[in-house]
Amino acid sequence: MIGIIYFLVIVFANSIGAISGMGGGVIIKPVFDLIHVHSVAAISFYSSVAVLTMSVVSTSKQLKNGIEVNWPFAIQISVGAVIGGLLGNVVFENMLSLFPGGREVQLVQIGLTVVTLIFSFLYSKNWWQNYRFESLFLKIGAGLLLGFLASLLGIGGGPINVALLMLLFNIPIKQATVYSIITIFFSQLSKVSTIVLTGDMNRYDLSMLFYIIPAAILGGFLGSYISGKVSDKTVNQVYQFVIILVLLINLYNGWSVW
């Protein structure tokens, strides 16, 4: 039964995540926390696998839709995302070692997620003007920050990806969603690879992957298909709606855990 629930949540989350560039994990993680069947470590792992799978499907589909990608820029932020993904997972595992019960780790994740959600929502309301930075180090640094937060928070990406890319590099929202998904792919690839190669896989119920991976593929296809049919204005409206929805879920989860 729990597998079917996870399947439905992931299809919905990854569809919305592919459209908005958030990656799905920003919905998957708090909803799985709300259901509260698996541990903090397992939920973060499942969310990362779902978002990694979605990012592969969504990116390939977006490219077929004819979206233009500045590959030097994509590679630069992706290098940072790989490093950030590795660092985020190291910090996450160290926090779990310090607090094996997971409560404190979950509160940190919720708190940081709420901060990024508020920043992203205010940005979507035009609180700040866009810049057009060209610095290589800033591009790598932006990717590193996004990869670090995605890995540490277990959300795979999040609304801050799109907001930060638009703010720093003056990218239209539909293009920003594609670059966001690309950074999500590399940050989650580094995280999942590290877990598989060095982690204790016995702490995860791997049978859940039979529900998670097909759901992630389906969600990625649906989201990228819809994204190719809608306007920038619609993408922004979906983006704002998801921020508010996820913010409310996280605040409830934080209150429950506290």
Its pTM stands at: 0.84
Does the pLDDT value for residue 94 go beyond 90? Answer: yes
Q: What is the pLDDT of residues 184-226, one digit of tens each?
A: 888 888 888 888 888 778 888 999 999 999 999 998 888 878 8
For residues 185 and 190, give the distance between their C-alpha atoms in angstroms, rounded to a whole number: 9
Q: For residues 85 and 187, is the Cβ–Cβ distance under 8 A?
A: yes
Q: For residues 73 and 142, is the Cβ–Cβ distance under 8 A?
A: no
For residues 32 and 196, give the distance between their C-alpha atoms in angstroms, rounded to a whole number: 21
For residues 18 and 25, give the distance between their C-alpha atoms in angstroms, rounded to a whole number: 11
For residues 96 and 236, give the distance between their C-alpha atoms in angstroms, rounded to a whole number: 36
Q: For residues 17 and 161, is the Cβ–Cβ distance under 8 A?
A: no
Does the pLDDT value for residue 168 go beyond 70? Answer: yes
